[in-house]
Amino acid sequence: MAVIANTALTLADWAKRQDPDSKPARIIEMLNQTNEILTDMLWLEGNLATGHRTTMRTGLPSGTWRALNAGIARGKSTTVQVDETCALLENLGVVDEKLADLNGNTAAFRLSENAAFIEGMNQDMATALFYSNSALEPAKPLGLAPRYSDSTAKNGQNIIKMGGSGSDNTSVWLVVWGDQTVHGIFPKGSKAGLDHNDMGVELVDDGTGKYFRAYRDHYKWETGAALRDWRYCVRICNIDISDLVADTNGSTVKLIEAMVRAVHRIPNLRMGRAAFYMNRTIAECLDIQAMNKNNVRLKIQEYDGEFITSLRGVPFRTCDALLNSEAPVI
């Protein structure tokens, strides 16, 4: 029974979600996160049932400086194909019919629980976009960090290492979203985004071979990321959090300088929609530096009632999924 209580809502859970007037309480969602990368991403249908195949040009033909009566050498370009694979993220909600129907607030009770499932899957997805490694866990998609984890690799020129060497490191990412650069994918013929299926009332096994009637909700997200051109993503890593917090004017860590370098690693910012992604700690530190009157590189602008910090026209976006405990990139 203890196992069931950990995975299924109980009468005690129901009681904790009621106001004094016996109506569903408005729950303070203290576990919610801000992951603006999910709303920024461009999503495109893949050209494969399992994901997306990208053909990249890897070599250009060279011309011939021809003298009179001399021939011209033949040439051709070279290409390579890379398959990006989607992964399947699912969850299943089960609520005893009698429990949900107490006091006649079935819809409100289920809506509240659905919101928690959706938030949980959003957090799972945001974490996977950065950190999941399909080489180690085949059921997961390939995130950005495993792709930019070796400074000696070909894409190492887009890894900018700061001075952090301890255990309190984080990264700032510059991503240019576009159909030829970096974008999210979903399998050919499937739906984009998180799919919620209200399965209604069904008989559910309680784990002992006995059954009860329960409302069931199925959540499914078939998704992945396509890094079609690695030049349009830059990782600024090994940012020592404790050093950055102490450096209120940016004279020691020089993160802004590294971000300027990142902008110049991008071949063409007009290829898509660019944004810097950072966790809340980094965003706070850069916001404080932006308020320094001697800082002329960061700008704070108000747009639609929201203050946005930017560098060279590239906005800063908050992602709570980014950790402050990354291992140093070698």
Structure confidence at residue 1 (pLDDT): 34
Structure confidence at residue 15 (pLDDT): 46
pLDDT digits (tens, 9 = 90+) for 257-281: 999 999 999 999 999 999 999 999 9
Alpha helices, DSSP H, located in 17-152: 37-40, 97-100, 106-131, 144-147
Q: Residues in the chain with pLDDT < 50?
A: 1-5, 11, 14-15
Structure confidence at residue 266 (pLDDT): 98
Side-chain half-sphere of 203: how many Cα atoms within 13 Å? 3
CB count within 10 Å of CB 19 equals 9
Structure confidence at residue 105 (pLDDT): 80
Structure confidence at residue 311 (pLDDT): 94
Nearest to 226 by CA among 179, 273, 277, 173: 179
Structure confidence at residue 299 (pLDDT): 84
Longest Cα–Cα distance in the chain = 98
Is the Cβ–Cβ distance between 250 and 289 less than 8 Å?
yes
DSSP letters spanning 191-218: -SS-EEEEEEEEEEE-SSS-EEEEEEEE
Q: Which residue is associated with the tokens 């108000």?
A: 302
pLDDT digits (tens, 9 = 90+) for 76-109: 999 999 999 999 999 999 999 998 888 678 888 8
Structure confidence at residue 11 (pLDDT): 42
d(CA 155, CA 24): 52
Tell me the whole-structure pTM to 2 decimals: 0.87
Quick one: tokens of 121?
């899957």
Q: How many residues does the chain have?
A: 330
Structure confidence at residue 301 (pLDDT): 84
d(CA 275, CA 278): 10
Q: What are the domain boundaries of the chain?
A: 2-19+36-50+83-318
d(CA 14, CA 12): 5
